[in-house]
Structure 1
Amino acid sequence: MKEIIQMLVDIVNNLHDFIQIFVNHTLNLGWTDKDLHFWIMGIIGIIIFLVVLVLSKIIAKMRFGITILSFLYTFTCMIVLVFAIEIQQALTNRGNMEFQDAIIGLLGFIAFFLIFAAISGAFLTGKKMWNQLNKKKR
């Protein structure tokens, strides 16, 4: 088990280093560690959310309530993930274990979720208005 955990830690560390080098050196964005946490955790979080949302809808066949359930489940997973990464950084001395990094990562997910919610809300509002307009024409 220890070997598997160490292998996973090495994979995460190498991925972290690759992303940092790619973003800061290749793309020359000059992002800080906090910037990387915001974007990477936001993207990972919204991907997990979308997968959970789709699976939950298929399984439950419910309406709006499943979205809240999906968000809560994803947010819980994100909490575990950001703290696991921070603990991993402390154990391996690769990066700094900071509570603020975890919070910034969670804020990244919330920002991406709010964008998703706004787009979904606009789409559903437009769809509802379109349907009402078509009913009036009949």
Structure 2
Amino acid sequence: MRDFVMLMAEIVNEIHDILTGLFGLHMTDKELHFWVIGIVGMVTFFLVYFSFKLIEKMKWSVTIYAFIYTFTGMIVLVFAIELQQAITNRGNMEFADAVVGLRGFLVLFIIYALIALVIYTINKFISKRK
């Protein structure tokens, strides 16, 4: 995990060097954050917006929206926990821990989905017999 964070830091530093060196942009750290995060945020917004519009056209239930929102939150949470472990030196900061944590959520969600599907199928079967 530490290697992953260092790699991400290197990528960010390279982007910074390209923006300042190649394009001759001389921005303060705050200005750079403003533009980079602003642009990344808008690109992400449009990707999410069009993805959700596609889901809406497919007439999927609100469950998919709840899953996507929750899974995104879980990604943030597991990486926050791993970073906290690195900062406080309590526990080991490992990418594998984040992956296993997310796998736990996915497995439990699949179990929930299967149970819900069984209940839904039984209710449909019962309502057809009436």
TM-score range (shorter-chain normalised) is: 0.5 to 0.7
Q: In the alignment, which residue of structure 1 is the partner of 2:71?
A: 75
**1:65, 1:129 → 2: CA distance?**
20
| 1:27-60 Cα shifts (integer Å, max 9, x gaps) | xxxxxxxxxxxxxxxxxxxxxxxxxxxxxxxxxx
Does the alignment pair 1:102 with 2:116? Answer: no
Alignment of 1:1-138 (within 5 A): 64-134=60-130
**1:85, 1:65 → 2: CA distance?**
31
Q: Which sections of structure 2, spanning at least 5 residues, go unmatched? A: 1-58
Q: In the alignment, which residue of structure 2 is the partner of 1:54?
A: none
Q: Which amino acid aligns with 1:124?
A: Y
Q: Across the two proteins, how many residue pairs are aligned to each other?
A: 72
Q: Which sections of structure 1, spanning at least 5 residues, go unmatched? A: 1-62
TM-score (norm 1): 0.51
Deviation, 1:64, is 4.2
After the TM superposition, list the runs of 4 or more consecutive aligned residues in structure 1 that deviate by more than 3 angstroms.
none
| 1:55-75 Cα shifts (integer Å, max 9, x gaps) | xxxxxxxx8421000000000
Which one has the largest radius of gyration? 2
Deviation, 1:112, is 0.5
| 1:72-118 Cα shifts (integer Å, max 9, x gaps) | 00000000000000000000000000000000000000000000000
Identity rate, percent:
54
